[in-house]
Structure 1
Amino acid sequence: MWLKNITLLNFKNYADASVSFSKTVNAFVGNNGAGKTNLLDAIHYLCLCKGYFNPIDSQQIKTSEDLFLIQGDFNRDERNEKITCGVKRNQKKQFKRNKKEYDKLADHIGLFPLVMISPYDTNIITDGSEERRRFMDNVISQTDAHYLDGLILYNKHLLNRNALLKQIAVTRSYDPSLLEIYNDQLVASGLKIFAKRQQFMLDFIPLFDKYYQFLTEDKEQVNLEYQSQLADTGFEQLLLKSIEKDKLLERTTTGIHKDDLIFQISDMPLKKFGSQGQQKSFLIALKLAQYAYLQKYKGFKPLLLLDDIFDKLDDNRMHKLMEMVSQQDFGQIFITDTGRERVLALFEKIKVPLTLFEVNNGAINHA
């Protein structure tokens, strides 16, 4: 699978732009604020129905305009697939495949898998567990058409149970049979999510270890672990044990919505004890493992987007990364960087052909 071209209308700082891509490595160079990252974000929209950096569609519309439009042609299984995303202020987002609008956007997820690596990804390490669960869910949902539906169902049951807990706090009375129904619903949907996350991590951790050791030449010892309350105690028992605490706090304190990923370096928390370079290598290994996982289960190569990732990587790690992603294991790649000469020198050194574009104030030109 590869993206042949893209057209942007009133998207972020692009008034009107079109560009065709090569099937291999495409690099976009230019000053900060020129629009390089915005171009990658538009590709992310075509693949996953939303922006990577901001979930609010209307905020992607160019200032003083009423709508944005993104259109791209993919080659998948030797067939042309035209994807169109349109957002008009105060209206529902329109998303079409070959001019036919989707009934629900979830049906598009996984058809055009994509992995994005960005400086923004540091929030996976520095922020709370929600970011790490989102990372897991993003990978699994691109390979399992039912996973996203199951997650939506679990969150619906969770909202219902939390609403009941708030009602109990106000009225100081409740119907135990109704709470039991909500518990049963939460358990049934939660156990399915837990089982899928467990299986995912069994496949994912060896891939992560492989890429991290390659990047660091086996010089550092890291650990990635899936943490869930359900690992030691049945979900039903957890809910029964925590009922008094739940009533006091007016929310459900146990379940798969509390799952986390534990990141360690030399048996210490990566967040506190990892250098910027080590954290960057950890994140890149996570994302390359995501790529390998998607390729394994989709049967073809996803798109790989590398946004301004050369900062905070020493020359050796940068060279190892580019050497790796430019090999046959990877397909179409999109790279952004401020340093034109740095990009040219790097790809000359590893003997990989490169298609170079210059981005300047919302205009994209072949360099």
Structure 2
Amino acid sequence: MPQLYLEKLQLSFFKNYEEGTFEYSPRLNCFVGENGSGKTNLLDAIYWLGLTKSAFQVQDVLSIQHHADFLMVDGIFKKGAKTVQITCSLQRGQRKVILSDKKPYERISDHIGEFPIVLVAPNDTDLVREGSEERRRFFDGVLSQLDSFYLQDLLQYNKTLAQRNSILKIFAERQQFDDLLLDTYDEALVGLANRIYERRQRFLVEFEPLVQRYYAFLGESREAITIKYESEVEDLSFRDKFRQHRQRDLQLQRTLMGIHKDDFLFEMDGVALRKFGSQGQQKSFVLALKLAQFDCIAVEKEMKPLLLLDDIFDKLDDRRIQKLIQLIEDNTFGQVFLTDARPERTEDILKGKRIDVKFFRIGY
């Protein structure tokens, strides 16, 4: 399996970094420093290179340093025998630009999945505790890195959905309805919804056993973990029901049915993990989700993704930390980046381990 790793990172006006240059180890890289020093921002810069956006900011422009007019994130990747330069730049008031070896992509979405990344972050337990939108975003993110056709279908679905909702508002304002126009949007949405539903369903068949395996490894627990996919699209009469909801859609000025309402239910011994799982069980489950994501991408892409671990030692107990370090030591992963506010803790955890590690003291 060819190795993927980030060799060099350069930043300009990215968050708290006016300028910065970093050269990384192909194995383990540790960013240590006080809270607020910029450790997580370095992980986010790497995330930008792989996913063309921030993992933590909803709007791209929020990643530009407050007094600056633009940002630039530039990375040199080793991808097997190839060296590839990826540049992400954004100027206020303009569209972001993604370059591969100084050539722009025709579509930014064509870049997604080329340099896969898995991020484990402190707020990941929101996947368990929060609403369905968080879980859909996670599964869509995994599938988008795995399957470019899925990503294009998802982008087109969201675009068509936004257009349909806009048309519904115009109809309500004018109190004039055009059934033929709605038929056009409905036919497109239903077709896309069916394809997205089928891909999500197929993926879960492969994904769930990996989550169960990692959960058992991390927790040494006998709880039966399951993931259930709920969707209105699975109903064979979905097309008819979608049409029947048209009057309600018109009244409420939004589309009430579709894959944008899907949910993934996480259960433990047949009950909701959100309600009945302990904090430790929830953290183990979420970490198992991310490690299963890593495996899926590695198999599909025949290349291990970069693994970003943000404040991981603060969120796991000692036993689970040792399990994770065991995976790193056994070369389960490729290149790994982790952050910690306590350098001495990281050094102590890694002491005596057969791991090639490079430390970066941030803010010192």
Aligned to 1:154: 157
What residue ranges of structure 2 are gaps of 5+ in the alignment? none
Whole-angstrom distance in 2 between the partners of 1:167 and 1:65 = 39
Q: Find the residue that maps to 1:146 and give its secondary structure.
A: helix
Aligned to 1:329: 332
Whole-angstrom distance in 2 between the partners of 1:325 and 1:238 = 49
Report matched runs for 1:115-130 at 5 Å: 115-130=118-133
Aligned to 2:311: 308
Deviations 1:146-201 (Å, cap 9, x if unpaired)? 22221121122222332343344345553333333322111111111111111111
User: Given the alignment, which residue of 250, 257, 270 partners 2:253?
Assistant: 250
Deviations 1:267-322 (Å, cap 9, x if unpaired)? 22222222222221111111111110101110111100000012231111111122
Aligned to 1:272: 275
Q: Find the residue that maps to 1:169 and give its secondary structure.
A: helix
User: Given the alignment, which residue of 14, 19, 22 partners 2:22?
Assistant: 19
User: Given the alignment, which residue of 268, 284, 289 partners 1:286?
Assistant: 289
Q: Which amino acid is 1:202 matched to?
A: V
Q: Find the residue that maps to 1:223 and give its secondary structure.
A: strand
User: Given the alignment, which residue of 176, 196, 205 partners 1:193?
Assistant: 196
- Are 1:61 and 2:64 an aligned pair? yes
Whole-angstrom distance in 2 between the partners of 1:164 and 1:69 = 38
* Conserved? CA contact 2:328–2:355, under 8 Å: no
Whole-angstrom distance in 2 between the partners of 1:325 and 1:249 = 51
Whole-angstrom distance in 2 between the partners of 1:139 and 1:280 = 19
* Conserved? CA contact 1:347–1:353, under 8 Å: no
Aligned to 1:365: none
Whole-angstrom distance in 1 between the partners of 2:183 and 2:19 = 56
Q: CA 1:267 to 1:17, structure 2 compared with 1: closer, same or farther past 3 Å? A: same
Aligned to 1:102: 105
Aligned to 2:147: 144
Deviations 1:38-76 (Å, cap 9, x if unpaired)? 000000011111111003222212232222211110001
1:86 is displaced (CA, Å) by 1.5
Whole-angstrom distance in 2 between the partners of 1:136 and 1:93 = 25
Q: CA 1:63 to 1:316, structure 2 compared with 1: closer, same or farther past 3 Å? A: same
Whole-angstrom distance in 2 between the partners of 1:174 and 1:217 = 59
Whole-angstrom distance in 1 between the partners of 2:179 and 2:91 = 47
Whole-angstrom distance in 2 between the partners of 1:293 and 1:30 = 32
Deviations 1:73-120 (Å, cap 9, x if unpaired)? 000121110111112222221211101122221011110000000012
Report matched runs for 1:158-197 at 5 Å: 158-197=161-200
- Are 1:319 and 2:337 an aligned pair? no
Aligned length: 361
Percent of residue pairs identical:
43
User: Given the alignment, which residue of 75, 79, 82 partners 2:78?
Assistant: 75
Q: Which amino acid is 1:233 matched to?
A: L
Aligned to 1:226: 229
Whole-angstrom distance in 1 between the partners of 2:165 and 2:317 = 48
* Conserved? CA contact 1:276–1:312, under 8 Å: no
Q: Find the residue that maps to 2:76 and give its secondary structure.
A: strand
Q: CA 1:203 to 1:14, structure 2 compared with 1: closer, same or farther past 3 Å? A: same
* Conserved? CA contact 2:193–2:233, under 8 Å: no
Q: CA 1:90 to 1:177, structure 2 compared with 1: closer, same or farther past 3 Å? A: closer
Aligned to 1:364: none
Q: CA 1:172 to 1:223, structure 2 compared with 1: closer, same or farther past 3 Å? A: same
* Conserved? CA contact 1:10–1:65, under 8 Å: yes
Whole-angstrom distance in 1 between the partners of 2:338 and 2:178 = 57
Question: RMSD of the TM alignment (CA)?
Answer: 1.8
